[in-house]
Amino acid sequence: MKNVNLGHRTIVDIDGQVAKVLKGLGNLEPPLDLRVVRELLKLDRGYYSTTDDRLLRETFSRMKVAGKQVLLRPTLLRDAVRSLSLKALYLPDQKRILLDKNLPPIKHRWNEAHEIGHDLIPWHADMMLGDTEHTLTPVCHELIEAEANYAAGRILFLGDRFAAEATSSSPNFDLVRGLSKRFGNTMTSTLWRFVEQAHAGRPMVALVTGHPHPTRRKPGFDPSNPCRYCVESPPFRERFGMTREVDLFSAIAGYCGAQGGGVLGQCELVLSDLNGDPHLFDFETFFNSHEALTLGVWLKPHVRTAPVSIFR
């Protein structure tokens, strides 16, 4: 699944909302403590559990008293949590964020920031927990989730601070790992923001997949849909956006070893642009024991001196 291309006006509007928050917090150093964000925005945080019926009942019982929407439709949240496997919820009428207690704590940070993103974006309030035909369309849902993800990334990576530090060195996995530790965020979220926001005009692409090596693939692996996410920088989308995810995965599977963790391999690959001209990219894949993270960075136009494999 490729990252959603948000419009320029949407990005400017969300950047403006995030800038107000960061200005209100002062000149903070990373990593950002989300508690101070919640205090500034007057947000409450709680937990629910999809495996603990008692906690689930207690949570919904309190909400039936406090929230009008939940009072009128007491099964709405319970059904949403269980049927949609939701990791977090935002209740705009209560200014309350609920996180799934069963998820590892490392997941809570991004999920909480995502729900803060919903709170920050003015046009999301009327769409949260809505039941109109418009708000339930998959396209609309995908768009508002992408907007909340963008806001979350801007918050957790302190707006333009991340891009400034990310473009100070050559793009590679060592830099991504260092930025992950510095800003206190996961490698996956750091890689995503790195490609989307720190491209500086350079085509880059990231893949989040299962282990690429054939002997390490999990049961149920779908070769026609091998990527969990394919993240394209704006320059990559403009010039190489027709490149198929299945071809990229096949290419990285060709150089990746079967190691159980760490760097799986690195290779220079040739991709064809929209005009059919070949370009050289440096690809590197890292396995964090849960998912494989791949970064592809444009190097230069490719001069054909011998037959090469070109991915279109």
Each residue of 215-224: pLDDT tens digit? 999 999 999 9
Cα separation, 78 vs 144, in Å, equals: 21
Cα separation, 256 vs 265, in Å, equals: 5
| Average pLDDT taken over every residue of the chain | 87
Tell me the average pLDDT across 48-66: 60
Angle subtended by helix axes 76-84 and 53-66, to nearest 10: 140
Q: Which of 123, 129, 50, 42 is nearest to 89 (CA)?
A: 129
pLDDT, one tens digit per residue, over 9-38 is 999 999 999 999 999 999 899 999 999 999
DSSP 8-state assignment for residue 134: T
> In sequence order, what are the residues at sequence separation of 6 or more whose Cβ sits closer than 8 angstroms to the Cβ of residue 264?
211, 212, 213, 256, 257, 285, 286, 287, 292
Buried b (16+ CB within 10 A) or exposed e, 104-143: eeeebbbbbbbbbbbbbbeebeebbbeeeeeeeeeeeeeb
CA separation, residue 221 to residues 188, 245, 288 (Å): 20, 15, 18
Q: Label residue 56 by pLDDT band (50, 70, 90).
A: low
Q: Which residue has the higher pLDDT, 138 or 296?
A: 296
Q: Label residue 131 by pLDDT band (50, 70, 90).
A: very low
What residues pair up with 272 in beta bridges, in sequence order?
Answer: 278
pLDDT recorded at residue 233: 96
The region of weakest confidence among 66-80, 82-96, 279-293 is 66-80
pLDDT recorded at residue 32: 97
For the chain, residues classed under CATH 3.30.450 are 161-311
pLDDT recorded at residue 65: 36
> Would you identify the CATH topology of the domain 161-311?
Beta-Lactamase (3.30.450)
Tell me the average pLDDT across 187-204: 93
Q: Label residue 87 by pLDDT band (50, 70, 90).
A: confident
For the chain, residues classed under CATH 1.10.10.2910 are 8-156
Q: For the chain, where are the alpha helices, taking DSSP H only? A: 8-25, 34-41, 53-66, 68-72, 76-84, 105-120, 138-156, 160-166, 173-183, 187-197, 234-240, 245-253
pTM to 2 decimal places: 0.86
pLDDT beyond 70 at 305: no
pLDDT beyond 50 at 104: yes
Token code pair at residue 75: 């099964």
pLDDT recorded at residue 94: 81
> Would you identify the CATH topology of the domain 8-156?
Arc Repressor Mutant, subunit A (1.10.10)
Residue with tokens 């394919």: 230
Cα separation, 245 vs 120, in Å, equals: 33
